[in-house]
Amino acid sequence: MRKQIVAGNWKMNLDAIEAKTLVSEIINSPTSAGTGTEVIFGVPSIFLTSILDLVKGHPSFHVAAQNIHQEPNGAYTGEISANMVASVGVSHVIIGHSERRQYFGEDDALLAKKICIALEYSLTPIFCLGEDLAQRESGQTFDVVRDQLANTAFGLSAEEFSKLIIAYEPVWAIGTGKTASPEQAQEVHAYLRRLIEGKYGKKVADETSILYGGSVKPSNAAELFSCEDIDGGLVGGASLKSEDFISIIQAME
């Protein structure tokens, strides 16, 4: 069956000491050890290696970059390549987050390139998509997520696509405290899985982990995760507090 995953997205938060303290508290918590859930820390690039050192020897914990450049290397001052990230031992990368789309102008064509370069270097993309408030209110949610998925990922072979983790993150729920209801989230997740089945067949669809993101917190995680097509969460704000993140990992049980 598909993997159950809780991924944290720290965004541009925490300093070096806070970052290490947070991860140590989580991995050393007796309650979060030994669960069947895969836990991923999405950390700022500068902390990748120090957090990797901490998770070494803890096989259910992984580290994700929050971004990579779409080109393999070159004159891109300040950027970080897929090869660099992979070469230090990182396993995952978040691609297509709505903040990257909104503030850094990342569009479908660029995101398709980022997915390809991530796969080339054996990084697992956590590919984010989701509608904004105006799109939801005008009834375009399904069209928007279909286009975001098809324009970026449906150029991949079935073998390539099966390496992706998908994260449905309605933009209106990110950092707003407004969570999609389990019914709203489940409906979109089931739709995404049907699209994947239509393109790649039932086996790939059944095995693709689709995470929900947008104001996941200890109080709503269990209900969201109990939905048939919700295979875990991509957690922003609540991933910055060890107690909250541990509760969310426990909610996967």
Point out which residues bind ligand PGA (CB under 6 A): 9, 169, 174-175, 213-216, 234-238
**Closest CB 77 distance from ligand PGA, rounded Å:** 27
Q: Which residue is nearest to ligand PGA (CB)?
A: 236
Residue closer to ligand PGA by CB (options 82, 235) is 235
Give the CA distances from residue 151 to residues 61, 75, 148, 174, in Å, rounded to whole numbers and listed in that order: 31, 28, 6, 23
Question: On the CB side of 201, how many CA atoms lie within 13 Å of its CA?
Answer: 6
Nearer to ligand PGA (CB atom), residue 125 or residue 236: 236
CA distance linking residue 193 with residue 212, whole number of Å: 13
Q: What's the rounded Cα separation, in Å, for the pair 174 and 132?
A: 10
Nearer to ligand PGA, 7 or 27 (CB): 7
- Determine whether 92 is an active site residue: no
Minimum distance, C-beta of residue 87 to ligand PGA, in the bound complex (Å): 26
Name which of 64 and 216 has its Cβ closer to ligand PGA: 216
Question: Which member of 62, 69, 92, 97 is catalytic?
Answer: 97
Q: 97 an active-site residue?
A: yes
Q: Are 61 and 41 in contact (CB under 8 A)?
A: yes
Q: How far apart are CA 31 and CA 33, in angstroms?
A: 6
Closest approach, Cβ 8 to ligand PGA, in A, equals 9
Round to whole Å and give the CA distance between 201 and 193: 10
Minimum distance between the CB of residue 237 and ligand PGA, rounded to whole angstroms? 4
Query: What residues are labeled active site?
Result: 97, 169
